[in-house]
Structure 1
Amino acid sequence: MKKILGIVASPRKLGNCEILTKVIMEASGPNNQLEMIRLTDLDIKGCRACYSCLPKEAPCVIEDDLDFLLARIRDADAVVIAAPCYILGPNSSIKKLQDRFVSIGNKYEQFAGKPCVTATTYGAPDWEGYTEPALNLTARFLNLNLVDSSVFFGAHPAEVIENPADLARAQQLGRALFDPGYKRAAKANECPVCWSDILRYDGANVICPFCGTRGVIKAEGEKVSLVFYPKSNHRFSDEGRRHHFEAYLNSKKQEFLNKRQHFKELQNPYRNTGYWVTPDPK
């Protein structure tokens, strides 16, 4: 028996994300233990950028529901993450969680290897935006083993499973969680490391803004294609995580401590000026 955690980043009760998560978890196999968390119900506060959490043994100093969520992820054998697209991106509860990854990134071993799938829902044609890459980014920064991800169209509650093909696709995601032979079908012109189809071009190279993988645009006659050159030390590799969350961030913290007085002097001309406006008391 496996324990599966479904994380639903939507406030809508019995909405598309909730139903998809249930379909996916139920398709994972018989007799599994299923748990769900509605991310929008949790009290997850914004990061303070205090860097108190940088030592690997140090927890985040903010007292909220983040530890509850992380404990449930640690206790799970697999994770399903679902979120709707709001204005071309995921529900804001996903971004609030991502903002706390400074306190999670250096503890990446705690979540390593747990299979995960993500499901994105959107309700207007061609308005899915960057929601799927953002959900996949969430899974990868948690160091989960992202097995597959999919996008489902549906504006009305339960509309995502009205089409039998979409229902079958959701069930396929569930079966993939514990299928060691499962292989995700790659999409054309996506980053081969993190699957993002959002890419930047600097005039010479194509760059994935998520994992940093680079490539080039090649033209052969009328055919144009992207050719990537993946490296093993990308941002989501163990080496990449150690570089950013341990080496780089700790070096910036030490730099601040060494130059604290200098930065205070830079702040002084602005210390006693304020142009803030606030709403009237209710």
Structure 2
Amino acid sequence: MVSHLYRISTIIVKYFLLLYAVVGESGNYQDNSTTAIRMTPDFTVIYKSSGLKVYKRKTLDNKLEFVTVVNTNKAKVKHLTGNLSKSNHNKIYKKSLTEFWQDEKKIDDNAQQLKVITNGTYFSTKNNPTGVAFGLKIPGRRPIYGYGVSKEYIGQIRTLSWNNKTAVSFIQTYMVQTFRISQNVVGGLDITANKSAREYLPRTFVGVMDQDNDGLTETIVFYSGNYTRQIDASTTLKHFGVKSSMMLDGGGSTGLILEGQSLIHTNRTLPHALAIYSITNQ
């Protein structure tokens, strides 16, 4: 009897180990096939720079989709925020995406050049300064662990972490340790979390991939769409070769600026955005 139970338990353990290896820590299916860019035929390249390509697809009903592919060996992703509240470091004053662009462009230089700004993390739209829902870690600042972690989307919170020096990025299940050991972290949601999943809304997703097949996920891929479902956004990223992805804030927060031009416009003010720089001194 004991031997029989042992064999059953061994089979169960092996099953879950196999499931973990296939699904991965992020909860998304991990495809072990080639990770070269495999864009769908109706996407076209509209912009190229060092470490950066922007793809566009437009339908007859004016549905716009953009995919921004960032190789962090030749480009970098940087947090942008409004001013921190003096009374509460967990709260941030909001700015428009255009203000983020204008302010960041003032410190542009020859070594690194600002190319793209996209909206970032989830937040409370009711307050200013506002809290961050699922966490934020910016170099030189204390981590913000997120006001919604213990009460919203339990088990479906994810983080994107990256290091611009080592050019490695990860998407994984939310863990406090990530905020303690990683330089850059932004919280989001698993692609299966129901954020009006079947409705056609503006969406912002992000994924990571190993484009050069060296075992390191050096490429960060952003999806920005003005009228799409969650499944459409995640499927598009998979077509581009992304292995693991998550949702950033969407709806009225979705916005995208390329070289000062608003490709997807938002009137909403935001506490956080992500800037993409091409590195030109290599």
Shorter-chain TM band: under 0.3
Higher relative contact order (CA 8 A, sep 6+): 2
